[in-house]
A and B are shown apart, each in its own frame.
Chain A
C-alpha cells in the first residue's frame, strides 16, 4: 500500500503541474477508491472474453466488507447468460415511507484489442494526468463511484432519509445480447423501485487544456439502431476472378452511405443547448450556435456546427459503418460479406424510414439491408424537475463557479431508456468532464483525467447525500 501511494504521488506531481488541488497527496479515501476503480477496470467485462458476474461479485465483496448484510446484496444472472450478471444493493433509509434513489451504472465495456491499443486496455495506467484503460470513462468511472458511495454511507453511517439502491448491470454496450437493466425493469421492478435514478450520460465538457466549460444533463436521447448489410455470391476460385465480387459490391454501397448527410433537425433541448453554449464557446462556433438556435435549419451556421462531430451528432440522424466481415479463405472469391451500419436516429424519425433511406442510398438490390433487433423503444427523457435540478445546480456553483448546467440531447444511448418507461425517471448526469475528443469512449486508448474523476466523485457523493436527505 505504501509503495502504491508513493508511486501515485510521484505520477500526479510530475504529470499534471497545471492541475488543480487534487494534484497533491491522495487522501486515504481517494486511495481506497482508486484501488476499487483499478480492480474494476482490470476485471475484463467485454462480451467476448470478460465476465460481468465476476465484476459484480467483486463489487459485492466491498459492500459486504463495509457491513451490508447478505439479504441486501442481490447478485443476479439470467438463465443462458452466466457471465452477464449484475448486482443490486439496497441500503435502507431512516424514513420507511420515503422512496429510494437509484444509482445505475453498467459494468460491461466495449471490446478492446490489445494489439490496437498503445497500452494494455485491461490495466489501469495512470500517465500524464490521465487514467487509461477500457471503461476508465464508460462506465467504470461511474460504477466505481456508486460502489464507493454505497460503502461510504454504510461504513461511516452517513445519515439519510431515503433508501439508496445500487444497480450494476451488464449488456449496455452489446446490442442484441442480454441487457441487465432491461431485465431488472421487467423482472425485478420492486427491487429497484425508486423516486428517480441517476445514470451515465450528460457528460460535462472541457477544452483540450482541461478548462471546464459546462455540465450537461440529458434531456432526450437518440435511438441507437443497427442495420446489417449483406451480399452473397456463389464465390469460386480466386485464380479465376469474375466481375461480380461481393466485397467490391458492399464497398461501393458503404461509400454511398458514408458520403450522405441526413437532414438537419432540432428539438427544444438542442436549441436551448446551442443557445446557452454560444456565449461560453465564443468565436465562429459560438456565432454559429447562436444563429442555429434562432434558425435551426440547414445553412451556414449548421455547416459550421457540423464541422465538430459532437455538434453534428446533435443536429441529425447519423449512420456509420462500424463492422465488416467477409470471405472465408485468402484464395477464394468471397461468398458472403456483411457490414454493420450503426445509426443514431433523431427523435421523431422511425427505424423503417432510416432503413428505406439506406436502401435508396446503396441503390443495389443485391445488398440486402435488415434492421437488427431494436435495443429499446424510443423513449422520452423525464422532465427536469426542481427536486433533481436544484441540487445539481447548487453543487456545481459551489465547486465550479460560472459553469452552467445545460440540458442536452444525448447522442449515445443509455439504460435510462429502460428505466424511465418503467416508471423510474432516470437522469443522465455524471459530473465527469470530457475533452473535445469525447474521452475516446468506445475507441482506442480510452481515458479520463484523474482530477476529473476524483472531483466528480466528491461532487456525486455530496449530491447523493442531498438527495438522500
Chain B
C-alpha cells in the first residue's frame, strides 16, 4: 500500500487539484484492480463472478438484497450481470441508468508485453485488458454507487446501474439486449449513460475535446468462405482455397468506401477544427461546412477516418486441416463498421463485387442488434450539464457531439425507449489506447479524472427536475 501511495504521489504533478490520492481513491483503485484481474473474456473468464464481486461491494456499502439483482440465464452461466438500484425521493421522476459491460475482448498472454489480467501501473498508464474498454468506467459506476450510499445521498431520481456481459462478443449472449427484452421494467429510465464518449487528447496528452456520444456506426461481420476438394500437398494444384481467399482479401483491403457526412460528424469537426488547428484543423472546418474534398486529409488519422465512411477489414483468418494437405476450406471474417443509412446487404454486395470471384462466398453473419433508425436527439438536458462540469474541470476544452465508430450496448437500449448516451470524462490517446488490441492502457490521470467527473455528473442528472 505504501509503495502505491508513493507511486501515485509521484504522478500527482500531472493531476489537477481534484485528483487527490486520498483513501477513497486508493479504495477505488483496489476495486478497479479487482475488476481487471477478474478475467471476463468469453473463452476463459466469468462475468458472473465479476458481477458477484461488484455486488459484494454494494452490499457492504449498505444496499439491501432487494435492490441488488444479479442475473444470468441457464445456458450462459458465466455470462451474468447485475442490476442495482438507489431509490430516489421523487417517486414520479423517472430513473437514470448507468450502463456498463463487464466483459472484455480476448487477450493472449504470449502476445502481450505484460500479463493482460494483472493491473500494472507504469509510466503514467494503467495497463491490462479492460483498463480502457471499459472497466475503468464500470469501476467508477460501482464506486459512485458505493459512495452515494455511504454518504446517505438521496437523489431525486432513482439511480440504476446495469452491468452486463457480452458487449464484445457479437454472437454470444448479450446481457443488455436480454435486459431490454426480459427486464424492461427493472431498468426503465429516462435515459442511460454508457461508454462511447469521453475525451480526446492530442499526442502530447493535451485535452482537445470532451465528447458526448449520440450516434454510432453499425458493426457487421461478414464471412468469406472458399471450399475445395483439397488433396495431398505433395501434389499441388492451381486451384487453392488459400490463394483464392488471399486474392479476395487483397482486393478488399485496397478499396475505400466513399466518404460521408452526417449532422453529428459535421458538428463534431466544426468544434474540433479550432482546437486542433493547422492543416488538419482547417480540413475539419472545411468538412464541417460540407467540403468533402477535406475528407482525405482527415482520413490520414485512423480515428477520424473511422467516422468518415464505412470501413471493412479482415480480422480473423483460418484455413486448412493439416500441414501436409491442400486446404479444403478457407475462411475469413471481415468486420465492417457501417455508416448510418447504409444497409447490411449493400455492404455485402459491395464485398462480393470487390472480391470478383464466385469461388468466394460472402455471407453476412448474424446481426448484433437491429440497425438503429437514426441518432437519438442530443437535448440540452443531456448536453448542458456536461458543458458546465467540463468548463470547471477542463476550462477551455469544448464539449462536442460524437458519432462513435465502435458499437455499444446503446444499440439495444435506445430502440427499447431508453435513449443512451456515451459520457465518461475519460480522455483517450489518439492511438486508440490498445482497446481490443495489445497492451491496452489508459492514462492514470484519465481514470481518476473520469471517476471524479462521473461521480459529479450523475449527481447533477439525478437531482435535475
| Residues 419-443 of chain B, each 1 if its beta carbon lies under 8 Å from chain A, else 0 | 0000000000000101111110000
Chain A residues whose C-beta falls within 8 Å of the C-beta of B435 in the assembled complex: 236-237
Chain B nearest CB from A416 CB (Å) reads: 14
- For B111, give the chain A residue with the smallest CB separation: A335
- Asked if A325 CB lies within 8 Å of chain B CBs, one says yes
Of B245, B319, B434, B436, most buried by chain A (CB within 10 Å of CB) is B436
- B329 engages A310 (CB within 8 Å): no
- Asked if B5 CB lies within 8 Å of chain A CBs, one says no
- Asked if A1 CB lies within 8 Å of chain B CBs, one says no
Which residues of A in the span 350-395 have a Cβ within 8 Å of any Cβ on B?
Answer: 372
- A110 engages B325 (CB within 8 Å): yes
- A321 engages B436 (CB within 8 Å): no
Chain B nearest CB from A76 CB (Å) reads: 24
- For A248, give the chain B residue with the smallest CB separation: B253
Chain B residues whose C-beta falls within 8 Å of the C-beta of A340 in the assembled complex: 320, 323
Q: In the bound complex, how far is the Cα of B221 from the Cα of A323, in angstroms?
A: 22
Knowing A330-B315, A330-B333 are in contact, say whether A237-B437 is a contact too (CB < 8 A): yes
Chain B nearest CB from A295 CB (Å) reads: 24
Q: In the bound complex, how far is the Cα of B434 from the Cα of A438, in angstroms?
A: 49
Which residues of B in the span 15-72 have a Cβ within 8 Å of any Cβ on A?
Answer: none
Knowing A248-B253, A254-B242, A328-B108 are in contact, say whether A323-B323 is a contact too (CB < 8 A): yes
Of B133, B313, B332, B333, most buried by chain A (CB within 10 Å of CB) is B313
Chain A residues whose C-beta falls within 8 Å of the C-beta of B322 in the assembled complex: 110-111, 173, 322-323, 442
- Asked if A179 CB lies within 8 Å of chain B CBs, one says no
- Asked if A98 CB lies within 8 Å of chain B CBs, one says no
Partner of A110, one of B107, B111, B246, B324: B324
Chain B residues whose C-beta falls within 8 Å of the C-beta of A330 in the assembled complex: 170, 221, 315-316, 333, 335, 365
- For B312, give the chain A residue with the smallest CB separation: A241
- Asked if B195 CB lies within 8 Å of chain A CBs, one says no
- A329 engages B106 (CB within 8 Å): yes
Knowing A116-B329, A324-B319, A333-B315 are in contact, say whether A235-B246 is a contact too (CB < 8 A): no
Partner of A309, one of B133, B221, B236, B249: B236
Q: In the bound complex, how far is the Cα of B196 from the Cα of A66, in angstroms?
A: 74
Chain A nearest CB from B335 CB (Å) reads: 4
Chain B nearest CB from A341 CB (Å) reads: 9
- A335 engages B438 (CB within 8 Å): yes
Q: In the bound complex, how far is the Cα of B255 from the Cα of A241, in angstroms?
A: 13
Chain B residues whose C-beta falls within 8 Å of the C-beta of A309 in the assembled complex: 235-237
- Asked if A326 CB lies within 8 Å of chain B CBs, one says yes
Chain B nearest CB from A153 CB (Å) reads: 32
- Asked if B211 CB lies within 8 Å of chain A CBs, one says no
- For A334, give the chain B residue with the smallest CB separation: B315
- B306 engages A241 (CB within 8 Å): yes
Which residues of B in the span 221-262 have a Cβ within 8 Å of any Cβ on A?
Answer: 221, 227, 229-237, 240, 242-243, 245-247, 249-250, 253
Partner of B250, one of A175, A251, A333, A441: A251
- B230 engages A323 (CB within 8 Å): no
Partner of A443, one of B111, B247, B318, B326: B326
- B324 engages A173 (CB within 8 Å): yes
Task: Count A-side interface residues using an 8 Å CB cutoff.
Answer: 70
Knowing A116-B328, A175-B323, A332-B436 are in contact, say whether A239-B337 is a contact too (CB < 8 A): yes
- Asked if B356 CB lies within 8 Å of chain A CBs, one says no
- B317 engages A247 (CB within 8 Å): yes
Which residues of A in the span 287-339 have a Cβ within 8 Å of any Cβ on B?
Answer: 309-310, 312-313, 318-337, 339
- B246 engages A255 (CB within 8 Å): yes
Q: In the bound complex, how far is the Cα of B324 from the Cα of A222, in angstroms?
A: 13
9-residue interface stretch from B184-192, B290-298, B399-407: B399-407
- Asked if B156 CB lies within 8 Å of chain A CBs, one says no
- B105 engages A331 (CB within 8 Å): yes
- Asked if A245 CB lies within 8 Å of chain B CBs, one says yes
- B321 engages A110 (CB within 8 Å): yes
Q: In the bound complex, how far is the Cα of B325 from the Cα of A442, in angstroms?
A: 5
- B328 engages A329 (CB within 8 Å): no
Partner of B320, one of A241, A323, A326: A323
Q: In the bound complex, how far is the Cα of B437 from the Cα of A437, in angstroms?
A: 44
Partner of A258, one of B219, B221, B246: B246
- A251 engages B303 (CB within 8 Å): no
- B105 engages A313 (CB within 8 Å): no
Q: In the bound complex, how far is the Cα of B229 from the Cα of A164, in angstroms?
A: 39
Chain B residues whose C-beta falls within 8 Å of the C-beta of A245 in the assembled complex: 253, 313-314
Chain B residues whose C-beta falls within 8 Å of the C-beta of A332 in the assembled complex: 105-106, 315, 436-437
Of A110, A175, A232, A413, most buried by chain B (CB within 10 Å of CB) is A110
The residues of B with any CB-CB pair to A shorter than 8 Å are: 105-108, 111, 133, 168, 170, 217, 219, 221, 227, 229-237, 240, 242-243, 245-247, 249-250, 253, 302-303, 305-306, 311, 313-330, 332-333, 335, 337, 365, 404-407, 432, 434-439
Additional 13 contacts, C-beta under 8 A, given A251-B247, A335-B111 = A110-B324, A112-B321, A235-B434, A240-B406, A250-B317, A312-B235, A321-B327, A322-B233, A325-B318, A327-B314, A334-B314, A342-B323, A443-B229
Shortest 9 CB-CB distances between A and B: which pairs?
A: A235-B437, A443-B230, A323-B320, A442-B325, A236-B437, A251-B246, A327-B316, A443-B231, A239-B405
What would be 11 A-B contacts, judged by CB atoms less than 8 Å apart?
A116-B227, A116-B321, A238-B315, A240-B303, A258-B246, A322-B323, A328-B106, A330-B335, A335-B111, A336-B108, A444-B328
The residues of A with any CB-CB pair to B shorter than 8 Å are: 110-113, 116, 173, 175-176, 222, 224, 226, 232, 234-242, 245, 247-248, 250-252, 254-255, 258, 309-310, 312-313, 318-337, 339-340, 342, 344, 372, 411-413, 437-438, 440-445
